[in-house]
Amino acid sequence: MAGETIIAVVGNLTADPELRSTKNGRSVAGFTIASTPRTFDRQSQQWVDGDALFLRCTVWGDLAEHCANSLAKGMRVVAQGRLTQHSWEDEQHQKRSSVELQVDEIGPSLRYATAQVAKAQRGTAGAYGNPYSAPAGYTGGAAAALPPSDPWGTDQATSSSSFGSFGQPAEPEPEF
């Protein structure tokens, strides 16, 4: 839409994405990205962290399901979307506002990690009315499959990578 503020943010997830469903069965996931600027201080000859920006993010539909199944706390991500502002009045009649990112695209940052991407498989409607289903035997999101101390690690029994194919070969792209 014309006039929207589109931004890209790079940072780390502060927690696993929280997947919910609306009354109509549409999936929605929420998470926070922490982005901390680093600058080089020439006097001390060291890198210095600036003030962190904590940006609340919302993602809808199939992308919400994919985030919940692929992303986990601590992962460095690149997200692109539209800034939205919400205004309200609290119980003390003070005007309040917040800004959040409505995510259109998101993926892992490959600066300090590698990822193996698998195309989502179409199947019967799964949880939250999702037309994509996880392969048989898959029991949870990325956080369930990974050791808590290593969000970029892999669970060799179920996945070829933390973003991976869950042990399933990817289907070839359909021809148009």
pLDDT score recorded for residue 39: 93
Using an 8 Å Cβ cutoff, are 110 and 77 in contact? no
Per-residue pLDDT of the chain (176 residues; tens, 9 = 90+): 678 889 999 999 999 999 999 999 999 999 999 999 999 999 999 999 999 999 999 999 999 999 999 999 999 999 999 999 999 999 999 999 999 999 999 999 999 899 888 888 764 444 444 444 444 444 444 444 444 455 555 444 444 444 443 444 445 555 64
What is the secondary structure of 24-79 as a DSSP string? T--EEEEEEEEE--EEEETTTTEEEE-PPEEEEEEEETHHHHHHHHH--TT-EEEE
SS3 label, residue 150: coil
At 1 the pLDDT is 66
Give the pLDDT of residue 125.
42
Q: What is the pLDDT of residue 149?
A: 52
Q: What is the dihedral of CA 4, 9, 12, 13, to 10 degrees?
A: 10
CA angle at residue 158 from 117 to 126, to 5 degrees? 75
d(CA 153, CA 135): 20
**Over the Cα atoms of the chain, what is R_g?**
19
- Backbone phi, then psi, for 77, in 5-degree steps? -130, 160
